[in-house]
Amino acid sequence: MKRRRGRHFLKFLLFAVLALAVFSGALMLLWNRLVPPIFGWHAIGYGQAVGLLVLSRLLFGRAGFGAPWRGMQWRRRMWERWNQMTPEERERFREAMRERCGGRFEPKPTPTQAG
């Protein structure tokens, strides 16, 4: 059991290092291609790209910390609200979403309506 856990950890660690390397390389290429011509800033090296990626993840991305089920909690709360709505409230909600988001929330035709 401990061997399997150790292998999983090593696979995860290898994947994390590989992902960091790939994303840092992509960030460096994009930065050097876009930022110097647009803003006149200097090009960056690979180490600076790694630092920039880690810094942005810390500042904006929770750095992997926090509850991964937060999205599920939001979905559950919305489902509970939806179930407590009357049919008239649901229709008003759908209409408001149609106005805000265009046709993405149009009702799908049922087979009797399509024919």
Q: Give the pLDDT confidence score for residue 26 in this predicted structure.
A: 94
Q: Give the pLDDT confidence score for residue 94 in this predicted structure.
A: 87
Q: Give the pLDDT confidence score for residue 60 in this predicted structure.
A: 84
Cβ-Cβ contacts under 8 Å for 24 (sequence gap 6 or more): 46, 49, 50, 53
pTM over 0.75: no
- Domain residue extents for the chain: 2-63, 70-104
Q: Are 44 and 56 in contact (CB under 8 A)?
A: no
Digit-coded pLDDT (tens) for 46-96: 999 999 988 988 888 765 555 555 667 888 888 899 999 999 999 998 888
106 or 72: which leads in pLDDT: 72
Lowest mean pLDDT among 6-10, 48-52, 58-62, 111-115: 111-115
**Axis crossing angle, helix 2-39 with helix 46-60, rounded to the nearest 10:** 100
